[in-house]
Amino acid sequence: MEKNAADRLLELIAAKKNPTVVGLDPVWERIPEEIKKSAAEAEKDPIRTVAKSFLIFNKMIIDALKDIVPAVKPQFAFYEQYGSAGIEALEETMAYAQQQGLVVIGDGKRNDIGNTARAYAAGYLGKVPLADGSSRTIFNGDFLTVNPYLGTDGIEPFLAVCREEGKGIFVLVKTSNPSSGELQDILDRNGEALYENAGRLVARWGIDLIGEKGYSAVGAVVAATYAKEAAKLREIMPGALFLVPGYGAQGGTAADVVPCFNEDGYGAVVNASRSIIYAYQSEAHKRRPAEFHLAAAGAALAMREELYKALKQSGKLPAGW
Amino acid sequence: MEKNAADRLLELIAAKKNPTVVGLDPVWERIPEEIKKSAAEAEKDPIRTVAKSFLIFNKMIIDALKDIVPAVKPQFAFYEQYGSAGIEALEETMAYAQQQGLVVIGDGKRNDIGNTARAYAAGYLGKVPLADGSSRTIFNGDFLTVNPYLGTDGIEPFLAVCREEGKGIFVLVKTSNPSSGELQDILDRNGEALYENAGRLVARWGIDLIGEKGYSAVGAVVAATYAKEAAKLREIMPGALFLVPGYGAQGGTAADVVPCFNEDGYGAVVNASRSIIYAYQSEAHKRRPAEFHLAAAGAALAMREELYKALKQSGKLPAGW
């Protein structure tokens, strides 16, 4: 049996003393000129040039961050929009990050009925059947983000793969965007919000996937931008790892993410994407676009420091940090 | 300005006197042997062989159905699970279906925050920026299915592309699976179910995308397997086209789908996937796997007849059918 995905992620967090995941969200307009040039030399087709630039950019970011952060989170949309060329860059990015020892959280927010969810689970986390009778991994992510709107039978196929292959999922519960409350905050007749109901389902889905460290391979997406809701959800799902978006470019601060952590100082991974990978475009760094990867490393180190301080101040610093 | 997507779909429904959409959900194990052999001759790599078999299969299905049905709905999961090779087959399937005059509903159930939703909208419905400064379509679907869990700002980027490019979306409201009620049926303090709240949002999102025939390019996924809920939703969203899953392999009958139609006999497209494309594996056809496309055409004709009878019986047959 494969090692529990939550344990694998928590080990890397402890080893690097850093509960950060960096979003790999490549956008053509924001890729440094030198990378664009190299990509254009390697690939003549204008779609493949974009995809190639993403891969070169990501590899340099991964190299610069691999000793600082435990995990990366490619946002599928940015690759998918370029079709098969973009997906090739996504596959290679995920494989490269794992070769460099990072946990890979595929951010696809997938969801469908059981028969279809099985295909998503096989492709992104498990193995697919091939023409020669064998089966093999395709994306081989460690975690995948999923949407809970369809209920248990749309999630069960993911749980099956998590159990068989030592993989994990993060289920959307309370998202970071301004209008997340339109459905997620609707109160039921017991005065419980939809996000609380979703949180209870997540806790139930994760029960038989709890690892040695007490956390489940079934985690939850809980936004830094809604700290009060996060505190409630921390109680509803004590054993869930929270994937926390909204830090940095979306306005969340280190203090905002503290409620997402348990008293042991674990239980959350905080995501930052644009504020790290495009740090080279900030006032402090913009004179040296060729050093974009160093700017990213600097921003990641600064973020680790901010999280360290906020955890320390709240009395939640993990033992030994 | 491009023609409204609802109008385009309704015109084809009227021309073919058939409110059916056929799901293109290729599964390696169910592809006929002859197609598998042709694919293996064309592509040596076992992943590319599978993808190639999907494309050959789909093209023959499309050729057989193009004069019978108005639309096809590739379910992305079945392609995505094979990575870039699968996506290539998806791109070519979508392009081929449109060349044959069919409306293409991309079934991806995508959802994310605004910045990311923009990338999905660009890739699946609109245009993406390329390395040479131009922009072009990639998947160029007519419609995309989306998930409403994140609220308005996760939907707005899709609406923008719908307005600019004459495209449409179908928003998940009440899904066909057994556990769809776990979240979707939760009653709020006014006694309204979550699916009703989602339906009200869909009606609002669609207001400024209503076409000449009175239907919006913002439709809703409403399952045939929950007829009572469908009737309520028909009232909440009179101007929404319903994409109705659950017919056939999932147990819904022609009588079950009638509440999804308006009194004018329009307002719904009924999906069937496995019961059509794998009709060749049914008792009646299984002696002749090489005629899988003919079996599919036969099943599609039978389904059209069933829908015709059910609409007629309920007094909802469109004028002139």
**How confident is the model at residue A304, as a pLDDT?**
97
Chain A from 163 to 192: CB within 8 A of any B CB:
172, 175-184, 186-189, 191
Torsion of CA B185, B188, B192, B196, to 10 degrees: -60
ipTM above 0.95, yes or no: yes
Query: Which of A79, A111, A125, A127 is the best residue to mutate to test the B interface, defined by the most B CB atoms within 10 Å of its own CB?
Result: A111
Query: Which of A94, A179, A244 is the best residue to mutate to test the B interface, defined by the most B CB atoms within 10 Å of its own CB?
Result: A179
Residue A285's pLDDT band (cuts 50, 70, 90): confident
Q: Which two tokens stand for residue A164?
A: 């068989």
d(Cα B290, Cα B295) in Å, to the nearest integer? 10
| Closest chain B residue to A153, measured at CA | B179
**Contact at CB, A151 and B183, closer than 8 angstroms:** yes
Rounded mean pLDDT, B217-235: 95
d(Cα B183, Cα A219) in Å, to the nearest integer? 18
**Contact at CB, A151 and B181, closer than 8 angstroms:** yes
Q: Which two tokens stand for residue A190?
A: 């017991």
Percent composition of chain A: helix, strand, coil (DSSP 3-state, to 5): 50, 20, 30
Residue A315's pLDDT band (cuts 50, 70, 90): very high
- What are the φ and ψ backbone dihedral angles of B20, each rounded to 5 degrees? -110, 145
**How confident is the model at residue B252, as a pLDDT?**
85
The CB-based long-range contact list for B290-293 (8 Å cut-off, 24+ gap) reads: B290/B32, B290/B34, B292/B32, B292/B35, B292/B57, B292/B60, B292/B61, B293/B60, B293/B61, B293/B63, B293/B64
- Cross-strand bridge partners of residue A222: A174
**Smallest Cα–Cα separation from B99: which of B145, B60, B62?**
B62
Residue A116's pLDDT band (cuts 50, 70, 90): very high
Q: Which two tokens stand for residue B163?
A: 């307005």
**Contact at CB, B148 and A183, closer than 8 angstroms:** yes
**CA–CA distances in Å: residue A95 to residues A101, A106, A279, A284, B279:** 10, 12, 24, 32, 39
Task: Choose among A87, A116, A151: nearest Cβ to B182.
Answer: A151
* Candidate list B59, B109, B127, B213, residue with the active-site label: B109
Residue B246's pLDDT band (cuts 50, 70, 90): confident
Task: Choose among B39, B82, B139: nearest Cβ to A138.
Answer: B82
Residue in this structure with the two tokens 């906020």, named with its chain if needed: A310
Residue A248's pLDDT band (cuts 50, 70, 90): confident
**Smallest Cα–Cα separation from A118: which of B248, B250, B252, B25?**
B25
**Contact at CB, A152 and B109, closer than 8 angstroms:** no
Give chain A positions within 8 Å (CB) of B51.
Answer: none
Asked if residues B202 and B215 have their Cβ atoms less than 8 Å apart, the reply is no
Percent composition of chain B: helix, strand, coil (DSSP 3-state, to 5): 50, 20, 30
Residue B125 C-beta-side C-alpha neighbours within 13 Å: 32
CB atoms under 10 Å from CB of B264, counted, come to 13
Sign of the CA dihedral running A38, A44, A48, A49:
positive
Query: Strands, E, within A111-232: which ranges?
Result: 127-129, 135-137, 143-146, 168-174, 216-222
- Domain B5-313 matching CATH 3.40.50.720: the answer reads no
What is the pLDDT of chain A when averaged over all its residues? 96
- Cross-strand bridge partners of residue B129: B135
Residue A2's pLDDT band (cuts 50, 70, 90): confident
Q: Judge whether residue A249 has pLDDT over 80.
A: no
**How confident is the model at residue B126, as a pLDDT?**
98
Asked if residues A125 and A167 have their Cβ atoms less than 8 Å apart, the reply is yes
Q: Which residues contact B67 (CB under 8 A, 6 or more apart)?
A: B16
Q: Judge whether residue A93 has pLDDT over 70.
A: yes
Residue A8's pLDDT band (cuts 50, 70, 90): very high
Q: Per residue in B78-117, pLDDT tens? A: 999 999 999 999 999 999 999 999 999 999 999 999 999 9
Task: Choose among B40, B119, B177: nearest Cβ to A114.
Answer: B177
For residue B212, what is the DSSP state?
A: T
Q: Per residue in A195-232, pLDDT tens? A: 999 999 999 999 999 999 999 999 999 998 898 999 99
- What DSSP assignment string belongs to B146-200? E--TT-HHHHHHHHHHHHHHT-EEEEEEE-SSGGGHHHHT-BBTTS-BHHHHHHH
Residue A138's pLDDT band (cuts 50, 70, 90): very high
d(Cα B193, Cα B184) in Å, to the nearest integer? 7
What is the pLDDT of chain B when averaged over all its residues? 96
The Cα of B156 is separated from the nearest Cα of chain A by a number of Å equal to 11
Q: Does A157 touch chain B if contact means CB atoms closer than 8 Å?
A: no
**How confident is the model at residue A1, as a pLDDT?**
64
Q: Per residue in B26-75, pLDDT tens? A: 999 999 999 999 999 999 999 999 999 999 999 999 999 999 999 999 99
**Contact at CB, A109 and B113, closer than 8 angstroms:** no
**How confident is the model at residue B1, as a pLDDT?**
64
User: A8 in helix, strand or coil?
Assistant: helix
Residue A284's pLDDT band (cuts 50, 70, 90): confident
CB atoms under 10 Å from CB of B63, counted, come to 13
Q: Does A114 touch chain B if contact means CB atoms closer than 8 Å?
A: yes
**Active-site residue flag, A109:** yes
d(Cα B131, Cα A41) in Å, to the nearest integer? 12
Segments making up each domain of chain A, as ranges? 5-311
Residue A137's pLDDT band (cuts 50, 70, 90): very high
Give chain A positions within 8 Å (CB) of B111.
Answer: 109, 111, 147
The pTM score is 0.98
Q: Which residues contact A70 (CB under 8 A, 6 or more apart)?
A: A9, A12, A13, A15, A16, A18, A19, A20, A21, A102, A103, A269
Task: Choose among B29, B183, B187: nearest Cβ to A149.
Answer: B183
Residue B285's pLDDT band (cuts 50, 70, 90): confident
The Cα of A158 is separated from the nearest Cα of chain B by a number of Å equal to 13
**% of chain A residues with pLDDT over 90:** 94
Query: Which of B73, B115, B153, B277 is the best residue to mutate to test the A interface, defined by the most A CB atoms within 10 Å of its own CB?
Result: B115
Domain covering A5-311 in this structure, CATH number: 3.20.20.70
**Contact at CB, A123 and B82, closer than 8 angstroms:** yes
